[in-house]
Amino acid sequence: MNTLILQPDAPDTVAIAAQIIRDGGLVALPTETVYGLGADGLNPLAVDRIYEAKGRPKDNPMILHVTGMEQVETLCHHIPPCAYALAEAYWPGPLTMILPAREHIPKRTTGGLSTVAVRCPDSVVTRQVIAASATAIAAPSANLSGKPSTTTVQHVLHDHDGKIEAVIDGGACRVGVESTIVDLTETPARLLRPGGVTPAQLREILGDLTVDKAVTAQLGPDEIARAPGMKYRHYAPQCQVVIVAGSREKAAAYIHAHYQNSDRVLCFEEELPLYKNCNPLAYGREADARTLCAGLFAALRELDDPKVRMVYARCPEGEGVSYAVQNRLKKAAAFQIIDAEEWG
Ligand code: TXA
Ligand code: MG
């Protein structure tokens, strides 16, 4: 199959993409977070094609992408007032809400759950495609399952060229990490995945918020993941990744003592001078966590190279958007964290 690369401002892009979706095909769509691999979320055969293209475990449900709360009402029931308040504050934007699913949502889409994830993305062309296809578009991150997410059209083609009907080239994704996921089917609401909307922004609307254990720690073998996707190894290059925590100086001392020739250091731009001889790769500025979000997945993809033995990673602290970077990096590192302050 020849994968079409559609330009967002070309006059027939929306019509072509919507027709492919209606016909049960796959279109990779730009969003402000990451590229999604889109298909008709109400057509189980189309959703099956997403699972096949990604190599995704069948129990890992999809997010349905919508144009707003009016469409959510056609997909969900018992929608609490706080869902409307969150949508008013943060949609279109990097926020996904879990709500009770109506009967007609295919089990393929929900992974057999009674709930469904919904999100209104902040990309005009993608919302136009949703409206023109007259359905809700299921779209997981467009990476192959387990790999770092796709934040450019090149990443999408690297993973899916020749396997999907089309991709819309929306340039590099502005936020760079996937949406915040909040489960509104319990009280207080539960944060399942941190993203561009921070815990503080959620608390402004919700008051109380529980942070799910899977956000910060590895679940035990008998623990059930509330977001099924959170139990899988994820975001990871093929080599081992270890986070080195602690002050700049202590971390650099630890890394210099352990560094071998085929290793890489994933660090902040401010730290580059410390790692001149250690093949460093900076993913953003520590002083501006938004740059770290935006650069993280492209960096993890570059490190996904069989010649690399080990990655020593520096991870930002704090509760704002850094929280999303911490979560993705910890998962990429399978929660292997070394405290350089306690070493040597
Ligand atoms: O920013 C994003 O959210 C991107 C863009 C494309 O919109 N999409 C995305 O989808 O990250 P995906 O499939 O890579 O991650 C969705 C996560 C998975 O961990 C999945 O298990 C969880 O959402 N999820 C989906 N439906 C759920 C549900 N009903 N209950 C709990 N978790 C759910
Ligand atoms: Mg994903």
Beta strands in 127-205 (DSSP E): 137-138, 166-168, 180-183, 189-193
Per residue in 169-180, pLDDT tens?
Answer: 999 999 999 999
Quick one: pLDDT band at residue 283, thresholds 50, 70, 90?
A: very high
Domain with CATH 3.40.50.11030 in the chain: 240-342
- Tally Cβ neighbours within 10 Å of residue 9: 7
The one-letter amino acid code at 172 reads A
- The confidence score (pLDDT) of residue 310 equals 97
CATH tag, 4-216: 3.90.870.10
Residues in the 5 Å CB sphere of ion ligand 2? 141
Residue 226 CA to ligand 1 centre (angstroms): 11
- The confidence score (pLDDT) of residue 339 equals 97
Residue 328 CA to ligand 2 centre (angstroms): 11
Cα 144 from Cα 53, distance rounded (Å): 7
Helix, strand, coil distribution of the chain in percent, nearest 5: 35, 20, 45
Q: Judge whether residue 327 has pLDDT over 90.
A: yes
pTM strictly above 0.85: yes
- The confidence score (pLDDT) of residue 219 equals 86
CA 25 and chain centroid, separation: 22
Q: Which phi and psi angles does 342 have, rounded to 5°? A: -95, 5
Per residue in 188-242, pLDDT tens?
Answer: 999 999 999 999 999 999 999 999 999 988 888 888 889 888 777 778 889 999 9
- The confidence score (pLDDT) of residue 225 equals 87
Instruction: Please state, for a pLDDT cut of 90, what percent of the chain lies above it.
Output: 91
Longest dimension (CA), the chain: 62
Question: Using CA positions, which residue lies closest to atom 7 of ligand 1?
Answer: 36
Length of the chain: 344
List the helix and strand counts (H, then E) for the chain: 11, 16
**Quick one: which atom of ligand 1 is closest to the CA of 117?**
26
Residue 248 CA to ligand 2 centre (angstroms): 31
Cα 116 from Cα 73, distance rounded (Å): 12
Question: Using CA positions, which residue lies closest to atom 22 of ligand 1?
Answer: 227
Q: For a ligand 1 pocket test, name from 31, 58, 96 the mutation site with the most ligand atoms within 8 angstroms of its C-beta.
A: 96
For residues 16 and 179, the answer to whether their CB atoms sit within 8 Å is no
| 139-143, 167-171, 227-231, 327-331: least confidently modelled range | 227-231
268 SS3 class: coil
Mean pLDDT of the chain: 96
Question: Using CA positions, which residue lies closest to atom 19 of ligand 1?
Answer: 229
Residue indicated by tokens 């609307």: 205
Domain with CATH 3.90.870.10 in the chain: 4-216
Question: Using CA positions, which residue lies closest to atom 20 of ligand 1?
Answer: 229
- The confidence score (pLDDT) of residue 25 equals 98
Higher-scoring residue by pLDDT: 191, 318: 191
CATH architecture, domain 240-342:
3-Layer(aba) Sandwich (3.40)
Q: For a ligand 1 pocket test, name from 56, 119, 141, 152 the mutation site with the most ligand atoms within 8 angstroms of its C-beta.
A: 141
Quick one: pLDDT band at residue 319, thresholds 50, 70, 90?
A: confident
Q: Judge whether residue 344 has pLDDT over 80.
A: no
Quick one: pLDDT band at residue 115, thresholds 50, 70, 90?
A: very high
Residue 117 CA to ligand 1 centre (angstroms): 7
- The confidence score (pLDDT) of residue 231 equals 75
139 lines ligand 1 (CB under 6 A): yes
Residue 137 CA to ligand 2 centre (angstroms): 15
Residue 229 CA to ligand 2 centre (angstroms): 7
